[in-house]
Structure 1
């Protein structure tokens, strides 16, 4: 598949470039207009942007060293973090997580995790300092960026600064007191009229942090990353860009998982092409191809179970894909995007166990367990999304998408093969959306949308075989016969401001009901496979349930006073229900709100953020959840630019040294001196940040 994508793309570019005069690039750089690739989804254009979107950027003003990209979501309303350790952090949006969220880089590049326990989610495979912008589509309100169930998250990496030719760059360093953690990054770019290059490298060394009770949490890790982005402009309206990055994680401790990672190596390659301003009916053509490979090793060497059993698991994941899209205007008021995309995920690897002792008797005995059983999933999709301007200030969007999904398991364990009639399986998924966005006035925008998002079961839900992959201690068994999960989501949102722009506000209200919702259900006809005398005795098997829904809201308000001061308040609430099991859906965050008082000028800014999180008693007991208390924390940040090119920041996070845990945090697992309790967050943490741009 990788050869087909690359060959097709090269032939396509050659054909489109034939006859184009390279001398058409203007020599006056002040008038030169660069081709903008489709790595950015939200452009501020009513006639092209998806409905119900939000963007976040300027992360240097947060003045806190992110452990991985997931930390960048902490201050985006509606987001929470699922924490299995200081490295294995997953974003959650509106109680949707994992493959329920369509997470990607630069408009389509993906890197799927190798570990079944998600020690290495997609957010760990790129350095946070490389991300310049995060774009969120709040639900299944577009069909253009792959199969989407709960929303799209697009993380935009650093682009060349086309405003100035020659050499430019930046270097940054940071330190956190809690864990004695160090972060540094260096970036260099060289821009010329016809080509450009951006290169970066980073190193992170995080130690074990202490919570508010002064208890040390096993959470240290080290990672080294680098990336190179090359761009070439064939003409003033054609651009080819190649991006290569690698990440190397070492000695990764995961407090809430049964093993630690010795290493996690990731390679990602992407190739993007765009032909803009073609003329006539066809406005532009874009193409993307990408490849990622993750090599992951985990062991229990430093865990209590090592005395009875040595375990080593080496797993790998390969993701390849691509996309081609045409933007065309059949009529004056129509703006249409049509194309196809593909994604192929393949995983393999196994676990080697040396059982040293059983029932008090020494009996060294080796075992080999198949983790992924050499499985794959391939998704081929075609889509069309049309935007119709019924008035200059009102756009209706409608889109439909078809996904042809195939999956297979090529090396099954004997017991898994005995459970199912295995073989290549094909699914036909149809999703769609319709929405309206209107600028009621210059100060008020109203949006409403319906989306049907369809998600095929992921590889863990299909093919995992007697492994503990949940928050609870149960063994889980996959089900290759699962039906696709469907999200029918309705939403209405608005945003506005007064004429003086001293007051602005926004709010979104949504309701979603699910079909074939996938959950693990205890099967008392089956018994535990590993450590058979341990509790719980019966495993869980993934099944489809029909009667589940969620509803919620997000709201934000900001008042600007005395020109440079502002007061901002925001809140998010989610209520989810699984009527079949008469409990909440798992990993539903409690009501949370923030109150921010800040001062901001061009060269100096400061803010105090007060975080209020309610208790969560609406839980999924079948998932191993327990009720969690509410908490209140305060963060103080200050930044300044004393001279040109220098940014300096200091911060105090959790200034009250509060001992608390987020409801979505997993519990300690296989850890000495820790019971099965949720991981606490860091206590008071002083941070210093320095950046130099040149």
Structure 2
């Protein structure tokens, strides 16, 4: 029996060895793989590839030859598709099928930054703390992970307003899925568009810097495009879901989010929701900062595959916030209720010059209420309440045509924005006690924008050129003008036409070095607040702002120079930019006008200044030291100057340096991380706006993520490890006798748990 058992074991061992040898030999055989576009199935020539010591370029039919080996990653590089890494399992599958489909990187060569919010399963960024990102309750705060973006803060935890390279408000085109917008109903912008984004349904934020990519609307200083998840169709109906929760100690912040649905062959339906609540936090000096917030987001998304070439999509989302503290403003948010509705259709055409046709329609409805009832006022001269709303309608349709080594985008879009609201003031003291005043804040204003756009990408071996153009028609008016406002201006309507043009390209000198140059000219008309705000304190200082319907369009003439160097696992990027601004929209004090409220020092009127300048740079250095250790160093700086007044432009963030050290252990299941950020002092300030200098500071965060199993992950860490007392340059000051800036939170511990079956 023992001899028989031994012989059986020997035979088994011999069979296993033979099987493995055959298997390894099979994988080592040369396999022809055809590289094809994921969208339209066309072959992709001139793709540089590196794989297990092999390298080459795909032929005219997109074919490459690989000797497959388990565990090896395929690296691809192409002027149109960017740099991509293909996991070993996908390479083996491609070897068996003979086809590998890759996704085009449409904006790869532009001055662009991608913030990965929810990486795809199995992707290289699976543990980039994505669970914590999905739980974020404010997209503005999430964007601060990019060194070139800062935020105007009027609250400690809510309503962060993105500032990109010094451009802000309507100078930034912020959209959802390339089309949908949300306008702040609050005159003080407690509810900026970024605060309305349903983060847990977003996969990435695409940050396009400068006036170069003109496809997503009238862009002046840059575009921030939040992309929601695409529908996933499966051969067999499969339930999908995700559930996450986190707790943060400083401010007792509790966050939860979840997704549940079914993915089938013809339909993909998901419902989603997120709830976050927090209280006051303590800063690094031990001072309590008013920071209450309460936010609920919920909705659903449906994708239908109506044929092999056509899909329909519908998403409905509701954001509801209440009882949010804004210590830098005269009122607090009492209630903000926003609905976002959009529908889309996509068609793919095979073996035609017309490749795709995508159309989207949307509506956004914001209802906002705020008051001063919770403000500690001594003496309390009055009670104030504001009820305001905005509505946005619009749509976009875009065609893509593929030609020999070039492709073209062409389309049109439309946006309609309206705002109305009134402030009620009940006088409690003085000779006017008992009287009630009603202020017409928005005057039922409207702005309508229609646009035609086109973008031509030319591909040649070693370089790519992009020509982009746009023509916008802008019309604005008011339906309920205030008598005092009408007495200042004779004409309250405006009709303007805006041509915008850009040209740029990137030259690949070899596999290591590339150089890009981009030139653009864009103009934009003033937004609703700049044209029609009716004496409301919405700026940096407490002056009441007066809109100006006679503003000229502001113009941005910009250039970006981009140098990239990559060798092995090291990559260096340097981006230098300069913007010559004409008719820049600013403001000036009008001593001849009286403020509506005695607490305001005066009235500021929006005006054009002849010349202004913004210039600066961004740089990053990324390197994979080993299989277990990598780092990322980034730096960003902007210089802004009002050439007319010979002083700095207001609200320009200082030089910012960040260093991230990341580890990867236990087969990438455990990832510790240390992040150091140093913000230099900002002593270039606009004193005419009451702007003050900001001291430098250094903040250290520490994190660790653990992939417990395929669906289950756990992460935690400490924010502001050294309990540094600091405040951002763009943080507004608390309205009190001391006028102390809103300091950021002191040391805070957090933990996050996520269960993912998507």
Determine if the TM-score, normalized by the shorter chain, exceeds 0.5. Answer: yes
Matches of 1:162 and 1:81, distance apart in 2? 38
Question: 2:110 maps to what in 1?
Answer: 51
Deviations 1:121-156 (A, max 9, x none): 112113433322111111111111100001111111
Matches of 1:104 and 1:275, distance apart in 2? 22
Matches of 1:506 and 1:34, distance apart in 2? 29
Partner SS state of residue 129, structure 1: helix
Question: 1:309 maps to what in 2?
Answer: 382
Report which stretch shifted further, 599-608 or 148-157: 599-608
Question: 2:671 maps to what in 1?
Answer: 605
The correspondence of residues 379-528 of structure 1 with structure 2, limited to 5 A, is 379-389=449-459, 391-498=460-567, 500-501=568-569, 503-528=570-595
Matches of 1:148 and 1:345, distance apart in 2? 16
Matches of 2:404 and 2:432, distance apart in 1? 80
Tell me how far 1:50 sits from its aligned partner: 6.0
Matches of 1:333 and 1:292, distance apart in 2? 39
Question: 1:19 maps to what in 2?
Answer: none
Tell me how far 1:158 sits from its aligned partner: 2.9
The verdict on how the C-alpha distance between 1:106 and 1:270 changes in structure 2, with shifts beyond 3 A counting, is: same
The correspondence of residues 538-617 of structure 1 with structure 2, limited to 5 A, is 538-601=602-665, 602-617=668-683
Tell me how far 1:447 sits from its aligned partner: 1.5
Q: Is the 8 A contact 2:109 2:505 kept in 1?
A: no
The correspondence of residues 187-226 of structure 1 with structure 2, limited to 5 A, is 187-226=259-298
Q: In structure 2, which of residues 739, 745, 751 is the aligned counterpart of residue 676 of structure 1?
A: 739
Q: Is the 8 A contact 2:469 2:501 kept in 1?
A: yes
Pair member with larger Rg: 2
Tell me how far 1:458 sits from its aligned partner: 0.9
Question: 1:318 maps to what in 2?
Answer: 391
Matches of 1:44 and 1:73, distance apart in 2? 25
Matches of 1:53 and 1:541, distance apart in 2? 35
Tell me how far 1:561 sits from its aligned partner: 1.7
Matches of 1:174 and 1:53, distance apart in 2? 31
Tell me how far 1:422 sits from its aligned partner: 2.9
Q: In structure 2, which of residues 229, 235, 249 is the aligned counterpart of residue 177 of structure 1?
A: 249
Q: In structure 2, which of residues 128, 136, 139 is the aligned counterpart of residue 66 of structure 1?
A: 136
Matches of 1:326 and 1:56, distance apart in 2? 26
Tell me how far 1:585 sits from its aligned partner: 1.1
Deviations 1:234-274 (A, max 9, x none): 21111110111001101111111110111000000011111
Matches of 2:474 and 2:664, distance apart in 1? 50
Q: In structure 1, which of residues 646, 658, 674 is the aligned counterpart of residue 712 of structure 2?
A: 646
Partner SS state of residue 485, structure 2: helix
Q: In structure 2, which of residues 700, 709, 724 is the aligned counterpart of residue 658 of structure 1?
A: 724
Partner SS state of residue 203, structure 1: strand
Tell me how far 1:120 sits from its aligned partner: 0.3
Q: Is the 8 A contact 1:35 1:239 kept in 2?
A: no
Question: 1:288 maps to what in 2?
Answer: 360
Partner SS state of residue 415, structure 1: helix
Tell me how far 1:535 sits from its aligned partner: 5.5
Report which stretch shifted further, 279-288 or 509-518: 279-288
Partner SS state of residue 72, structure 1: helix
Question: 1:23 maps to what in 2?
Answer: none
Q: Is the 8 A contact 2:173 2:217 kept in 1?
A: yes
Matches of 1:130 and 1:635, distance apart in 2? 26
Matches of 1:497 and 1:34, distance apart in 2? 28
The correspondence of residues 15-414 of structure 1 with structure 2, limited to 5 A, is 45=104, 49=108, 51-58=110-117, 61-62=128-129, 63=132, 66-85=136-155, 86-162=157-233, 165-305=237-377, 307-329=380-402, 331-358=403-430, 361=431, 363-389=433-459, 391-414=460-483
Partner SS state of residue 364, structure 1: coil
Q: Gaps (5+ residues) in structure 1?
A: 1-30
Tell me how far 1:446 sits from its aligned partner: 2.2
Matches of 2:754 and 2:107, distance apart in 1? 35
Question: 1:619 maps to what in 2?
Answer: 685
Q: Gaps (5+ residues) in structure 2?
A: 1-35, 42-80, 83-101, 119-126
The verdict on how the C-alpha distance between 1:205 and 1:370 changes in structure 2, with shifts beyond 3 A counting, is: same
Matches of 1:58 and 1:406, distance apart in 2? 36
Question: 1:21 maps to what in 2?
Answer: none
Tell me how far 1:107 sits from its aligned partner: 1.8
The verdict on how the C-alpha distance between 1:681 and 1:617 changes in structure 2, with shifts beyond 3 A counting, is: same
Tell me how far 1:285 sits from its aligned partner: 1.0
Matches of 1:379 and 1:665, distance apart in 2? 32
The verdict on how the C-alpha distance between 1:652 and 1:163 changes in structure 2, with shifts beyond 3 A counting, is: farther
Question: 1:9 maps to what in 2?
Answer: none
Q: Is the 8 A contact 1:466 1:530 kept in 2?
A: no
The verdict on how the C-alpha distance between 1:519 and 1:215 changes in structure 2, with shifts beyond 3 A counting, is: same
Matches of 1:663 and 1:323, distance apart in 2? 37
Partner SS state of residue 87, structure 1: coil
Partner SS state of residue 382, structure 1: strand
TM-score, normalised by the number of residues in structure 1: 0.90
Matches of 1:530 and 1:422, distance apart in 2? 26
Question: 1:7 maps to what in 2?
Answer: none
Q: Is the 8 A contact 2:198 2:317 kept in 1?
A: no
Q: Is the 8 A contact 1:50 1:142 kept in 2?
A: no
Q: Is the 8 A contact 2:386 2:424 kept in 1?
A: yes
Q: Is the 8 A contact 1:34 1:237 kept in 2?
A: no
TM-score, normalised by the number of residues in structure 2: 0.83
Partner SS state of residue 429, structure 2: strand
Matches of 1:237 and 1:311, distance apart in 2? 56
Tell me how far 1:353 sits from its aligned partner: 0.9
The verdict on how the C-alpha distance between 1:432 and 1:34 changes in structure 2, with shifts beyond 3 A counting, is: closer
After superposition, the CA RMSD in angstroms is 2.1
Tell me how far 1:98 sits from its aligned partner: 1.1
Tell me how far 1:66 sits from its aligned partner: 2.8
Q: Is the 8 A contact 1:597 1:609 kept in 2?
A: yes
Tell me how far 1:278 sits from its aligned partner: 4.7
Deviations 1:463-516 (A, max 9, x none): 011111112111111100001111111001122321x32x11111000111011
Matches of 1:58 and 1:281, distance apart in 2? 34
Matches of 1:220 and 1:35, distance apart in 2? 49
Partner SS state of residue 433, structure 2: strand
Q: Is the 8 A contact 1:269 1:292 kept in 2?
A: yes
Partner SS state of residue 373, structure 1: coil
Q: Is the 8 A contact 1:50 1:137 kept in 2?
A: no
Q: Is the 8 A contact 1:471 1:667 kept in 2?
A: no
Q: Is the 8 A contact 1:48 1:335 kept in 2?
A: no
Q: Is the 8 A contact 1:34 1:236 kept in 2?
A: no
The verdict on how the C-alpha distance between 1:355 and 1:46 changes in structure 2, with shifts beyond 3 A counting, is: closer
